Amino acid sequence: MNSLGKVTSDVHETAVGVLDRRVLRMPKTIHVLSLGPMAHGNMIHDVLLELPDFRLFIATDYLGLWAIPKQEPIHVVVLHNTFSSSELEDSCRLIRRRWPHAGILLVHRGESLLEDALYDDRVVPNVAPEVLLSTIQRLKGRWQGWRSGDVEL
């Protein structure tokens, strides 16, 4: 018997206790892609960078989207509405092709220039951090539901 087998055979089962697998799950990292000029994303970047379970990717324009590998599991795209309507539409269509199950969160005040089908939710630029985080969590839940087969898209 190897030394590991000896150690495990000497441990009394009551000393280990019952492990609940739900308690042991580590939080999954949420991959967020921010699309828009850096100056417009500062508040959102600051909120996301302060939290350990977010991985932030930044593309400043449509061409920057092509630099993000499509194999990267992007869960949520935060789209800052600072582009022309054609750039917004092209960006959303590319996002839907490259990461079809990613939620698109539009940051914009007033009327949107986009069709509702091109984005999933909308917040104002000065959104409260807790509202931003809960919206991203909800959009991430949509992605997880797709992965598990619970959500139909």
d(CA 32, CA 61): 15
CA distances from 70 to 2, 11, 134, 140, 143 (A): 45, 47, 25, 17, 16
Contact 40, 80 (CB under 8 A): yes
Q: Identify the pLDDT of residue 41.
A: 59
Which among 130, 152, 144, 153 has a CA at the least distance from the CA of 48?
130
Sheet containing strand 121-123, edge to edge, reads 54-59, 30-35, 76-80, 103-107, 121-123
Q: pLDDT of the chain along its 153 residues, tens only? A: 444 444 444 444 444 444 444 433 434 788 999 998 877 557 777 887 777 788 889 999 999 999 999 899 999 999 987 888 889 899 999 999 999 999 999 988 777 667 778 889 999 888 888 898 999 989 987 655 444 454 444
- What pLDDT is attached to residue 38? 75
pLDDT at 40: 59
For residue 4, what pLDDT is reported? Answer: 42
CB 106 within 8 A of CB 119: yes
DSSP code of 72?
S
